[in-house]
Structure 1
């Protein structure tokens, strides 16, 4: 099969998609002013290109592609495009993120949906098993509004009982929820450690280990985002009260209160807390909070326990463990789907061609941010 004839700059200008420019600019954390300057146009002109009021001149297409590090063909209309608003996503670190950072995260999620859409042309992914979710819409009143009751309901729906969940992220992916772990390492987005959305054809959770490469924090964050999907699919993001509800959901989903309250020590016992931490896959800090929550510790005793925990952590007695040491907590759904597709002659390069991306962008989306070869000593 012959490759399609490359589009000329004139062709791309005629079929220019302003949303593509907006998406690429936000992903690159570029303002309209910073993009306009090297092109020799005004910020208002960039706004007109993005709104579709006027297309850029053909000679500007290669310059736009160079500045935003995308192929020229990326700007041509004709490919499926997801359109998200900032309010469509829930951000784990809402108060510490700027509008520009959230816009980058939203554009990233749009592109993630595009990658999933293309992969599903070649591989059948697990069906979404999230009661009430149908093609980007969440039916109201399927789950209780109370976070604790909702966590118990989801455990029941997924057949998890009341036991510890050994591989949380794998469990989430097996229910058809797209989950990715992407290090957002740029200084401007370092504080965005998770976000999620129910507004596309599949629920999506994006996690990053960069702020705290700690598997227990990672698991709690994944459960927190799952709480948003279950509780808040019909509500806009941005409300701190929703973040607190998602925290309560996560605590109950990971450590069912009716079970764990009988296991918690009646006094501060770090040896026992560490055993429970390893058994249930949650941090000692969260277990101390649970002790206070069920009345086993007073507020003053809990504060002293937190102080002592910080000291033990600084001394290296309590050590964090990397997410990458736990295979079941590293997302693998999309990577394994691509590996399966490769067995049928679908390559990273051919997927990139369908998307009009660079192959390196596909690899980044799959979590392969570092493309250097690995040195192995025999």
Structure 2
């Protein structure tokens, strides 16, 4: 996170990034001092209204966060220290920051929920301590932000029908598992019915429509703001990766990784 801030600051000296448009965030530039409701569901509904998202699915979530001034990265390199972390964020800097770890890159729907979960932390919690209450609140925010009750409730079949939920999953960009949990949150079925549905879902986990799909197949979910800021600085001032790495005292490979720029060098393979 510290490196992400250093990189962002170095680029902002050369390129004006989108203004921070996140009500409740202390560094907000578009809505400074405007607070969202304290309850997760209310906050999610109000933020959708602020961002003019309507009542439908949220497409291209990572890009949308960036368009409102949030810095989002999804580094490709393995980080053993974050092996059990899907994502993390920081509200203590001049820009809200979200890091989506590689752990969920093979499941775009869980990746999207993780991004919405961190958005919930940013608007609900001045500092994220990771305690169970905060995690539940961020989950509740993410569920309502991605699948508003007003819109989703009329679409859910009266009985849990996994094939129909798979279609809704693709439409709304959330997992079937998440949709089943919404039944519980809406009080539509018993806990025993929920348990049986999860059992059936596990048996279908490798079938088309239920198997995870990697993020690389969804360009709108891949962050681009920092890479495009670098490209703009490069075209305007001639900035190079090597110069930026020298300024930051990093290895060029680390700069490319956080910018989301693949290493284009050919790979030598020895048999």
> What TM-score do you get using the length of structure 2 for normalisation?
0.91
1:350 aligned to 243, 248, 259, which one? 243
Aligned Cα root-mean-square deviation (Å): 2.2
Alignment of 1:183 with 2:76, yes or no, is yes
The Cα of 1:324 is off from its aligned counterpart by 0.9
Q: 1:274 to 1:111 in 2, by over 3 A?
A: same
Q: 1:151 to 1:343 in 2, by over 3 A?
A: same
Structure 2 CA distance for aligned equivalents of residues 289 and 135 of structure 1: 34
Structure 2 CA distance for aligned equivalents of residues 119 and 212 of structure 1: 26
1:1-378 aligned within 5 A:
109-135=1-27, 142-211=35-104, 213-233=106-126, 235-315=127-207, 318-344=210-236, 345-368=238-261, 370=263, 372-373=265-266
Structure 1 CA distance for aligned equivalents of residues 86 and 77 of structure 2: 8
How far does the alpha carbon of each residue in 1:39-71 deviate from its partner, in whole angstroms, 9 at most, with x for none? xxxxxxxxxxxxxxxxxxxxxxxxxxxxxxxxx
Q: 1:112 to 1:249 in 2, by over 3 A?
A: same
SS of residue in 2 equivalent to 1:155: helix
User: How many matched pairs?
Assistant: 266
Q: 1:317 to 1:362 in 2, by over 3 A?
A: closer
Whether the 8 Å CA contact 1:136–1:199 is kept in 2: the answer is no
> What TM-score do you get using the length of structure 1 for normalisation?
0.66
Q: 1:278 to 1:243 in 2, by over 3 A?
A: same
SS of residue in 1 equivalent to 2:16: coil
SS of residue in 1 equivalent to 2:98: strand
Specify every segment of 5 or more residues in structure 1 that has no aligned partner in the other structure, as ranges. Answer: 1-108
Structure label with greater radius of gyration: 1
Specify every segment of 5 or more residues in structure 2 that has no aligned partner in the other structure, as ranges. Answer: none
How far does the alpha carbon of each residue in 1:272-312 deviate from its partner, in whole angstroms, 9 at most, with x for none? 10111011000000001111221222111111110110001
Structure number with the bigger relative contact order (C-alpha 8 A, sep ≥ 6) is 2
Structure 1 runs (4+) greater than 6 angstroms displaced:
136-141
Q: 1:206 to 1:220 in 2, by over 3 A?
A: same
The Cα of 1:141 is off from its aligned counterpart by 7.7
